[in-house]
Amino acid sequence: MRLLSFKANGDIAWNEFINPDHIPSYAILSHTWDADEATYRDLVDGSIQAKKGYEKVRFCGEQAKEDGLDYFWVDTCCIDKSSSAELSEAINSMFSWYRNASRCYVRLMDVWGPSDPSDDWVAVAEKSTAIGSIQETLPQKWKEDFCRAKWFTRGWTLQELIAPRSVSFFSHDKHLLGDKGSLEDLINEITGVPQSVLNGSALSTWAVTERLSWAANRQTTRIEDGAYCLLGIFDIVMPLIYDLSRL
């Protein structure tokens, strides 16, 4: 597994961990891909800071550091997609990588945080415990923006929601909006994923048709990814076939 860390001068370095028993605690980023993402090639040749997507990479690292973690993982630049063997291994390992992460940060680039500092999602989430549901207390516009977020429509992000123990949601402007626990009622409403699954119940206890229903309205850019993104949901490992010239 390839993890990122900060050098003493603030630049980003990468670290290879071959033995799965020796992988240190790390944070992991979940997001939707945009134009000009920072890639593994950019990381290797030192041009990563010139990419627009570098901001998300840096955000993940800085948030990890704030949470006491030295290492972090971002899919865009931690996988060498020019290697079919590495890409296949990464996709088959993805669910476990998210499950084993100490923290998962979801960056919703189409949702903005509060304009009024006193009007805070985190405070609302905390108050909702006593009220019964965060849906009853969220400002309506934020609730609508959150429900419409592109992240909830993508195939790959289903496992990124389910697998990690700790999932924190951040807005485009880096405001903490809440976590999988405080927002579980709303997430259940958006995704149809049962709250017990969001809380970590074994996926094997759910019927195949039920698990497939969670992905029914999600899309992937490539047709084959519609199947590959569900491997972890069904605890399947299989060889993958990609035309690397199209990646």
pTM: 0.89
Q: What is the pLDDT of residue 246?
A: 56
pLDDT digit string (tens) for 216-230?
999 999 889 999 999
3-state SS of 131-163 is HCCHHHCCCHHHHHHHHCCHHHHECHHHHHHHC
Domain ranges of the chain: 2-246
Residue 117 pLDDT class (50, 70, 90 cuts): very low
Rg (CA), the chain: 18
**Rounded-to-integer distance, Cα 17 and Cα 244, Å:** 25
Please, are residues 170 and 105 in contact by the beta-carbon 8 Å criterion? Answer: yes
Residue 242 pLDDT class (50, 70, 90 cuts): low
Residue 128 pLDDT class (50, 70, 90 cuts): very low
Q: What is the pLDDT of residue 134?
A: 47
Q: Which of 14, 6, 17, 18 is nearest to 39 (CA)?
A: 14
Q: What is the pLDDT of residue 118?
A: 47
What would the mean pLDDT of 28-35 be, rounded to a whole number? Answer: 95
Tell me which of 19 and 138 has the higher pLDDT.
19
pLDDT digit string (tens) for 75-109?
999 999 989 889 999 999 999 999 999 999 999 99
Q: Which of 194, 158, 161, 193 is nearest to 180 (CA)?
A: 161
What would the mean pLDDT of 3-32 be, rounded to a whole number? Answer: 95
Q: What is the pLDDT of residue 241?
A: 75
Other beta carbons less than 10 A from residue 206's beta carbon: 17
pLDDT for 135 beyond 80: no
Average pLDDT, the chain: 89
Residue 70 pLDDT class (50, 70, 90 cuts): very high
pLDDT for 173 beyond 80: yes
Q: Which of 56-65, 103-112, 114-123 has the least mean pLDDT?
A: 114-123
